[in-house]
Amino acid sequence: MNRINRFAILTALTAGLLAGAGANAAALDQFKAFVASTKAAKGEFTQTLTKDVDGAKKTSAPSTGTFVFARPGKFIWQYQKPYEQLLQADGEQLYIYDKDLNQVTVKKLGDALGSSPAAILFGSNDMEKNFTLSEAGTRGGLEWLKAVPKAKDTSFEQITIGLKNGQPEAMELRDNFGQTSVLAFRKFEKNPPLGATSFRFAVPAGADVVKQ
């Protein structure tokens, strides 16, 4: 999965443990409980990309990594395999560090998130301002929630989130090019203790810094 795809997926991340939601609760109820009760979380993820190539579906090799977030607007999303890349936000700025290029790209967080699906996880609790949420049925043992962005200029058509036992276990993101990115989450820890400087970004020695 290339670096451009990885940044696009950043705008559609959602993960975390829910509190007070039963195994059979509707997905929307579970997700609203998550938003209300989860101020921070950390865990691991696996990500794949499926697209149509000459009429056949092709799935990429998986990317794996770790994440940690704290509302609003603070997160560290780190790819570890097959190559390293770091996406980190401190509440005001978004930093994208490409280790192979030894380059840091800096963006204003508001511009990077806006009404994108990332706001579900990293933004405020007012998610229904930017997304139309609805039940998407049961599939694969999970209760699914569909989130459709209200903005017309987003790169994603819809996001579906699979929940079980009060916990998001998977997310599917369909973009405007017919590609579907699938994320699976594991080893969640809800509301872990985080220090005041946990999300402070330090530019690696010798790295080029590009501001956008």
| Average pLDDT of the residues of the chain | 80
CATH number at residue 127: 2.50.20.10
94: helix, coil or strand? strand
pTM for the whole structure: 0.79
Q: Is pLDDT above 60 for 73?
A: yes
pLDDT band at 86 (very low <50, low <70, confident <90, very high): very high
Q: What are the CA-CA distances from residue 1 to residues 16, 95, 137, 150 (Å)?
A: 24, 19, 29, 27
- Structure token digits, residue 148: 């459709």
Q: Is pLDDT above 80 for 195?
A: yes
pLDDT band at 175 (very low <50, low <70, confident <90, very high): confident
Percent of the chain with pLDDT over 70: 80
Residue 157's pLDDT is what? 86
Distance CA 103, CA 98 (A): 5
- Structure token digits, residue 41: 């979380």
Residue 148's pLDDT is what? 87
- Number of domain units in the chain: 1
Residue 193's pLDDT is what? 92
93: helix, coil or strand? strand
Cβ of 178: how many Cβ atoms within 10 Å? Answer: 10
The whole domain housing 78 covers 3-211
The distance from CA 78 to its chain's CA centroid, rounded to whole angstroms, is 11
Mean pLDDT of 157-166: 85
Please write the tens of the pLDDT for every residue from 18-48.
223 333 468 888 888 887 888 888 899 999 9
Which phi and psi angles does 109 have, rounded to 5°?
-65, -40
Residue 4's pLDDT is what? 43
Distance CA 25, CA 5 (A): 33
40 CB-near residues (< 8 Å, 6+ apart)? 68, 69, 70, 71, 190, 191, 192, 194
Mean pLDDT of 195-199: 88
Which phi and psi angles does 183 have, rounded to 5°?
-120, 135
Query: In terms of pLDDT, which residue wins out, 197 or 4?
Result: 197
Q: Kindly report which listed range (53-57, 79-83, 112-116) carries the lowest average pLDDT score.
A: 112-116
Q: How many residues are listed for the chain in this entry? A: 212
Please write the tens of the pLDDT for every residue from 90-142.
989 999 999 999 999 998 887 556 555 556 666 665 667 778 889 999 999 99
